Homo-oligomer: A and B are copies of this chain.
Amino acid sequence: MQTKFLLSKKDVKKKNFSDMKYDGTQLRGHFAYFDFKILGDSAVSWIGPCDVNFDHMVDGEDFLEGSAIRGSEMVHFIIEFFDQSLFSGVVLQRLFANIVRDVIYELSQLKNIKLDRSGDDLYFQKRKLSISIATKSPMSTLVHFAVNVRTEDVPVPAVGLKELKVNEVEFAKRCLSLLKLEYEDCQKATWKVRPVL
């Protein structure tokens, strides 16, 4: 798995992504390849606003409820991997939620904070810290995971990394690094086990 943190708008020369706003169109097959020449399994992260167009809302629940998906500043992750099922993507998404929680525990300057995970969402004192969805493109499995930095514009009670005293750049890089380790370790685990009857 290759990982890349897009430091600033200079990293992103594509006309249609120069504002680094996640609007749902980034959740597509080969996003990392066609926009950043990263080939194969990948995880890309950047910091930017979030405002998902209704047409690009892939979560049926949000769609049915007409929920707004919005935030003024979030750490975004787009994870893409090939030749795996949607089910494995959903489970990986939840494993990544645990990794995100561990990284916040590790980096936060607050003592003994406690985050709750409910499915693919993280909460701090019942306020929402993250959004996420796992889906399929014709050739790959995709996950979008985003964590609030600040909470302006978030349409529900929310918390962000600023309040949790976590540096967002350090956070993004640490999450990418742990995800890569975990993902590659999972792959290796499939190569070294004997079948049973």
Contacts and interface: CB of A to CB of B under 8 A. Distances in A.
A133 B136 CA distance: 23
Interface in A41-92: 56-61, 63-64, 82-88, 90-92
B37 A195 contact: no
A63 B40 CA distance: 16
A91 to B, nearest CB: 4
A82 B34 contact: no
B136 A196 contact: yes
Q: How many copies does the complex hold?
A: 6
Interface residues of A, number: 57
Nearest to A191: B40
A40 B187 CA distance: 9
A90 B189 contact: yes
A28 interface: yes
B30 A194 contact: yes
